[in-house]
Amino acid sequence: MEFGVLGAVEARVGGVLVELGTARQRAVLAVLLVETGRSLPVERLIERIWGDRPPKRAKESLYSYVSRLRTALAAGGGPTIESSSAGYALAADPSVVDLHRFRRGVAEAREIADPAERLPLLEDALAQWRGEAFATLDNEWLNQLRATLDEERLAAELDRDDLRLATGGHPAMAAELSQRVAEHPLHERLAGQLIRALHLSGRQVDALAQYQQVRRRLADELGVEPGTPLQRLHQEILAGGPATVAPPRWRPAQLPITIAAFTGRTDELAQLDQQLTDRAAGTTAAVVSGMAGVGKTALAVHWAHQVADQFVDGQLYLNLRGFDPSGSPLAPENAVRALLEGLQGPGERVPMDLDAQIRLYRSQLAGKRVLIILDNARDAEQVRPLLPASTTCFVVVTSRGRLSGLGAHPVKLEPLASHDARTLLVNRIGRDRVLADPQAVETIVDLCARLPLALAIVAARAAGRPTFPLVALVNELVEGRDRLAAFDGEDAATDVRAMFSWSYQALDPPTARMFRLLGDSPGPGVGVGAAAALAGVASATARQLLDQLVEANLLQQPHPDRYEQHDLVRMYAIELGRTTDSAAERDAALRRQLSFYLHSAANARAALGRAAPLMEIEAAADGVVPLEFANDRQALDWFDTMRETTLAAVQLAGERGLDRIGHELSHLMAMAFHYRRAYVDLLRVQELGLSCARRTEDVVSIAISERDVGTTSCELGLSAAAIAHLERAVVLFEQTASERGHADTLESLSCEYERTGRHAEAVELLLRGIQLTRHSGGDPTEARKLNNLAVSYLSLGQYEAAMTAAQDALNLSGGTNRILESYAWDNLGVAHAELGHQDDAVDAYQRSLALCNEFHQQLLKSEVLGHLAKAQHTLGQADQARSTCRQGLEILAGLVGDPLTEIRRAELIEILASLEDGEAVTARGAEAG
């Protein structure tokens, strides 16, 4: 007996379907098939079938379903459903289920290097699909799994099509890929495949036109430019380059630079090797634990580089900042977002909801071989959402705690063995020097408590003074140790603070000053330009100072233009800064760095073509040289690295009384969050910015911040908060000369009023906004405001007024904003339909659909198709109406990640049901007659 869930849930014997009973009964079988061979407790089965609202007699119903399924399967000579104390299990080989054949085939294909061998495996795996998974079944658990399987299917299709393009299978691919691009209009890798298929087929003009469509969609819907792979492909086509190279598959490679002189840890490395070998049997994660400074990160990164080639789909690295001096560990929602961004590559959208992010993250990893390093974890709760479900992946977590709640393999890291500590010194300062003074070496090892961090600092000092006898270094070290008290806390027995002090004392004054100032720098790391502004020096000088700190092991350089401090070192730098430098000097340094970020953001916004900010930003601090951006891609890439730094910078600005620049940063850096739709973090930044603005008592600043918080609250669905902030912003803008700010805020508030049913008030606000826009000379947003006005008139049933507003929007746009026009034509069509002008309505809908197809606006297209179906039905075109409705549902089947999708789906299902019900009533009436 063969089973299928990748389509309708079915069982076949010799190609003949087995009757499986009701939808609920088939849902029970579907759950058991997903877990073929594994027992499921009764409670879990009930949860998966009925969710959190099971019927009162759920167990009895479940027993009945299982009994009937046993009878049906036995009649066809199929497997039995076994019951035990552990629950129910379908006693079958997973290979008889299409889902497991699909996943196994994809996993096997990804382990094969030869494209010619890999392609047929992927094709066979994808051939298991017959339609939508679990078709016709509808419950929460199956719907979630269906979305995950859709992602797995798309990933396999993308891999297959890369191979087909690379092996000459492109002539017949353009039509197929065009349909898939229509279903996933913002998927850059898929768009790249279509462009390349067109190019390889000799259709260069069509390929270039397709690229421009993709570029417009990304700009209009996300405000971003195509990623590097698509841009490179575009340049290749323009240059008439080779047509045989497949577009590169995104493969993250995020491991920090490894330590060249890594020493020892043979047993621990062997444990990790063994765990990697055994991962298919169970645990797919390891936790490296130990005290601060013991070398946890160094071990994890060194091992990761050794095995990186086994993970053909890439390596992810994330510092969870569990013990950061700021006291702000990375929150799970920020952590999973960062991993998703690394996994998906540039240009991909990430859902806002944490649960949706976790589902997408795990589905992206399904069947892939990815190594994940989660560094410096605070506790198990911080890590648990970040663990993949796939046994093809492996995770290494580092933490000061053992995190036993994760069920991961523990690797406990103790201080280095004495001989390994001596070897570390040999590797760094030379064998001859170590052998020349063995007693001094033993003392150094003891004083450093065999901690790699402390030993590396001492070795760096010794290497910088090659003629200095080691015994003299020992005397200095003992002196420093006696002068300083030990750290409090878990590492009180290990006075690494003395090592820091000893090494710090050897720095020249400019380098020592840079070291102290870095402790105050907001964010997890710093680039050369930001460090230069912090210290008030030229970039070349800043790089020299940073490199000297790296040589002294007081600074780490995990990436070429990124410098970070170990959390213990940073605590020491902060303490030094507070006791050595005056508050005025520290504030001046912070102001310079924030000024660097502010004016770099202004330059980045200009490179992206954004309008100038409503406020006049604070002049750049003396000597600050902000970043310049040659193109919009560079600007977006910089914004993409700045989220954590922005949050820390705005918070620190408020704490230090730098309120004006804190407010300005919160406004100008918003693109860093919009780019990845990180609205939860953006709201926090803008709330901090609003607090700063209120303390300045500047009306324009407060109005801008109120509007910023309000519009982001809208994005998060926080209507009450959004309206409150936007209403305050309107009142404040009325007191200013900023007609543009006032008009745009009225529009934002009107949209929220419209969403919450306050249609008449929305109309009033839009009319005021349009009047202000015209008074200030007009701008491109007037057409948008007119179209929004049409929407509100439709809601009020004022269809003539809606027609006028929509037509005015079309006239004003004049072909300059085709996406806006697609919405306006739809609104015009609805108005015509409500007034009984069905033929005019159909014409307007067709115009809207043509624009939707041109710009691949799939969500709007599904809505317009629903409107068109109603008009067709009114005109007596029942067959066309049903076909149109189903076309809309097919489009929505390919859309994920947008909350409007389910709303549109429900609307279309309701329309289709009403059409079929209407026909049934007509038929019954005819029979009765």
Name the token pair of 18. 């087995």
Return d(Cα 433, Cα 466) in angstroms, integer.
9
Name the token pair of 126. 């994808």
Is residue 600 a contact partner of residue 325, using CB atoms and an 8 Å limit? Answer: no
User: How many CB atoms are located within 10 Å of the residue 877 CB?
Assistant: 17
> Which is nearest to 884 in space by CA: 850, 861, 853, 856?
861
Pairing of strands 87-90, 394-399: unpaired
**Alpha carbon distances (Å) from 411 to 76, 289, 754, 922:** 51, 6, 57, 73
Name the token pair of 319. 């510092």
> Which is nearest to 7 in space by CA: 104, 102, 72, 76?
102
Three-class SS of 662-685: HHHHHHHCCHHHHCCCCHHHHHHH
User: In the prediction, which pLDDT does 250 show?
Assistant: 67
Return d(Cα 398, Cα 286) in angstroms, integer.
9
Return d(Cα 59, Cα 67) in angstroms, integer.
12
> Which is nearest to 317 in space by CA: 376, 273, 363?
376
Domain ranges of the chain: 1-169, 172-216+225-243, 266-412, 418-505, 509-581
Angle between helices 418-429 and 452-463 (to 10 degrees): 30
Q: Is 720 helix (H, G, I), strand (E, B) or coil?
A: helix
> Which is nearest to 568 in space by CA: 500, 625, 635?
500
User: In the prediction, which pLDDT does 493 show?
Assistant: 31
Is residue 889 a contact partner of residue 876, using CB atoms and an 8 Å limit? Answer: no
Is residue 746 a contact partner of residue 765, using CB atoms and an 8 Å limit? Answer: yes
What is the Cβ-side half-sphere exposure of residue 510, based on CA atoms within 13 angstroms?
14
Return d(Cα 641, Cα 663) in angstroms, integer.
20
User: In the prediction, which pLDDT does 788 show?
Assistant: 94
Name the token pair of 652. 């620190």
Name the token pair of 878. 């029942």
User: How many CB atoms are located within 10 Å of the residue 913 CB?
Assistant: 11
- The number of angstroms, rounded, from the C-alpha of 311 to the middle of its chain's C-alpha atoms is 21
Q: Which amino acid is at 762?
A: A
Return d(Cα 603, Cα 542) in angstroms, integer.
22
User: In the prediction, which pLDDT does 922 show?
Assistant: 42
CATH of 1-169, one of 3.60.9.10, 1.10.10.10, 2.60.40.10, 1.20.120.160: 1.10.10.10
Residues 6+ apart with CB under 8 A from 315: 252, 253, 254, 255, 304, 308, 370, 371, 372, 373
Pairing of strands 371-377, 556-559: unpaired
* Burial letters 755-766, b for 16+ CB under 10 A, else e: eeebbeebbebb
Using CB atoms within 10 Å of the CB of residue 612, give its burial: 0 to 12 exposed, 13 to 18 middle, 19+ buried.
exposed
How many helices and strands (H and E) does the chain possess? 42, 12
Tell me which fold the domain 509-581 belongs to. Arc Repressor Mutant, subunit A (1.10.10)
User: In the prediction, which pLDDT does 283 show?
Assistant: 62
Is residue 401 a contact partner of residue 379, using CB atoms and an 8 Å limit? Answer: yes
Locus of tokens 């799970």: 332
Q: Which amino acid is at 49?
A: I
Stated as kind and residue range, the H or E segment containing 398 is strand 394-399
User: In the prediction, which pLDDT does 498 show?
Assistant: 65
* CATH class belonging to 266-412: alpha beta
Using CB atoms within 10 Å of the CB of residue 60, give its burial: 0 to 12 exposed, 13 to 18 middle, 19+ buried.
exposed
Name the token pair of 806. 């929509």
Residues 6+ apart with CB under 8 A from 57: none
User: In the prediction, which pLDDT does 490 show?
Assistant: 39
Is residue 116 a contact partner of residue 122, using CB atoms and an 8 Å limit? Answer: no
User: In the prediction, which pLDDT does 327 show?
Assistant: 64
- The number of angstroms, rounded, from the C-alpha of 165 to the middle of its chain's C-alpha atoms is 28
**Torsion angle defined by CA atoms of residues 165, 167, 169 and 174, in that order, rounded to the nearest 10 degrees:** 10
Return d(Cα 191, Cα 543) in angstroms, integer.
41
User: Average pLDDT for consecutive 10-residue bins of the chain (929 residues)?
Assistant: 91 87 91 86 87 84 89 88 83 89 84 76 91 88 83 84 77 80 84 87 81 81 70 75 48 80 86 77 78 86 88 89 78 86 65 77 81 92 88 89 83 89 88 88 84 83 82 75 41 53 82 94 91 94 92 80 82 88 93 96 86 83 91 84 91 93 94 81 94 95 95 89 95 90 92 92 94 80 91 95 95 83 95 95 93 79 92 90 86 60 76 66 41
**Alpha carbon distances (Å) from 918 to 62, 838, 922:** 36, 19, 6
Return d(Cα 356, Cα 717) in angstroms, integer.
16
What spatial distance separates the first Cα and last Cα of the chain, rounded to whole Å?
A: 49
Residues 6+ apart with CB under 8 A from 528: 539, 542, 543, 546, 561
User: In the prediction, which pLDDT does 555 show?
Assistant: 86
Name the token pair of 174. 């353009």
User: How many CB atoms are located within 10 Å of the residue 200 CB?
Assistant: 21
pTM of the predicted model as reported, rounded to 2 decimal places: 0.58
Locus of tokens 């006075």: 495
Q: Which amino acid is at 497?
A: R
User: In the prediction, which pLDDT does 304 show?
Assistant: 92
Rg (CA), the chain: 32
User: How many CB atoms are located within 10 Å of the residue 609 CB?
Assistant: 10
Using CB atoms within 10 Å of the CB of residue 31, give its burial: 0 to 12 exposed, 13 to 18 middle, 19+ buried.
buried
Return d(Cα 837, Cα 833) in angstroms, integer.
5
CATH topology of 1-169 equal to that of 509-581?
yes
Is residue 732 a contact partner of residue 705, using CB atoms and an 8 Å limit? Answer: no
Name the token pair of 567. 């959390």
